[in-house]
Amino acid sequence: MRYAVIMAGGAGTRLWPMSRQGSPKQLLPLFGGLSLLQIAWARAVTVVQPSNLYVCTGAAYADEVLRQLPGLLPQNLLGEPVGRDSLNAVAWSGAVLAKRDPQAVMAVLAADHLITPEDVFAERLTVGFELAEADASALVTFGVVPTSPHTGFGYLERGEAVEGYPEASQVVAFREKPDAATAAQYLASGGYWWNSGMFVWRVATLLDQLRQLQPATYDAVVELADNPARLTAIYADLTPVSVDYAIMEPVSAGLGSAHVVAVALPTQWADVGSYASLYEALPHDESGNAASGTVATMDATGNLVLNNDAGVVALIGVTGLAVVRSGSAVLVVPLKDAEKVKQMALRLE
């Protein structure tokens, strides 16, 4: 009765022009020919049997997802008619699973993360299932053990240890992306983990917390599970909100009837959300360039060069840039300004 839903929604505007409306980042074959979604599938399938693996994605990507994942049962593909942020994708998936198996214990996994070593991940995901199976009031999350005072991630503030699970802690607060001084303090204290955005819980527990904290969403997703024909009509009216904001933060603060537990992930972890993190995640040549496609460099160091087209992309004498050609567009941006790509993508598309 272990299930997992890989969350593969989102257009990934911060990876424009690689990702677009029709080809979001998680479906791009960037990693030795594999997409992030295929890598996420390979990670999950070591813990959860394929027939219990689900993918929640945009309805427009359904064909491509089924093509990339031959092991995915078509009835396990949940296609959102429109994106409504993570709470609704998680809640809808939970309601669908509860309808099919009220005893389901459900992992929520991300399609756009790189995590190594994979066997450590599998082991800790299994611990997460065990915790949720043992404790009907637990919302289990995963905290990446920080290796730097990163200011680009949210943090989990750890409370007491969990008896019998040396790799887990209670979570007493979710902390927003910190400034540099705060991040350094978090790292030095040892009391904080990076918020990975992955979860395990009994679907019954999830729906119970939803009913208490987000009753409108609860009603909507239960109706959707009973009456899939109403998907398009109901989904568009859901309020976009993140699962952290709507459930995890209130529960960690003592609202709701559950509690939040985090399992440590002592792994390399990259949330491939921007060209800066993609650069970090890809292998580098001796000049520190990370390249994909036909690329020529001369006196160029520390660049990310992604060429999805025929013909060469040539760099001379530049440092620390992302240069991306995809579809008909070319983007040039310093890796340090990678967060500005979203703004450009929204302006152009």
- Binding footprint of a copy of itself on the chain (CB under 8 A): 17, 296, 298-299, 307, 309-318, 321, 323, 325, 327-334, 337, 340-341, 343-344, 347-348
Radius of gyration, CA atoms only, the chain: 20
Only one residue has tokens 């395990």, namely: 200
CB of 32 to a copy of itself, least distance (A): 23
CB of 323 to a copy of itself, least distance (A): 5
Cis peptide before 117 (omega within 30 of 0): yes
Smallest distance from a copy of itself to CB 15, Å: 13
Q: CA 7, CA 110: separation in Å to the nearest integer?
A: 5
Q: Two tokens at 273? A: 């959300």
Q: Of 98 and 338, which has the nearer Cβ to a copy of itself? A: 338
Q: How far apart are CA 240 and CA 74, in angstroms?
A: 26
Nearest residue (CB) to a copy of itself, 123 versus 309:
309
In the complex with a copy of itself, the residue whose CB is nearer, 122 or 314, is: 314
- Residue in 62, 53, 65, 60 with CA at minimum distance from that of residue 27: 65
Q: How far is the CB of 150 from a copy of itself (least distance, A)?
A: 21
What minimum distance in Å lies between the beta carbon of 278 and a copy of itself?
A: 16
The residue among 233 and 330 lying less far from a copy of itself, judged by its C-beta, is 330
* Shortest spacing between CB 300 and a copy of itself, in angstroms: 8
**C-beta of 213 vs 323, nearer to a copy of itself:** 323
Side-chain-side CA neighbours of 301 within 13 Å: the count stands at 3
**Min separation Cβ 20 and a copy of itself, Å:** 12
> Would you say 119 or 349 has its CB closer to a copy of itself?
349
Amino acid at 196: S
Q: Please, which residue, 22 or 71, has the CB nearer to a copy of itself?
A: 22
In this structure, what token pair is assigned to residue 149?
């005072």
Cβ 280 to a copy of itself shortest distance, Å = 19
Query: Which is closer to a copy of itself, CB of 185 or CB of 319?
Result: 319
Q: In this complex, which beta carbon is closest to a copy of itself, that of residue 79 or of residue 334?
A: 334
* Pairwise CA distance, residues 50 & 58, whole Å: 20
Phi and psi of 321, rounded to 5°? -100, 155
236 neighbors 110 (Cβ within 8 angstroms): no
Q: How far is the CB of 91 from a copy of itself (least distance, A)?
A: 36
Which residues are 58's β-sheet partners? 80
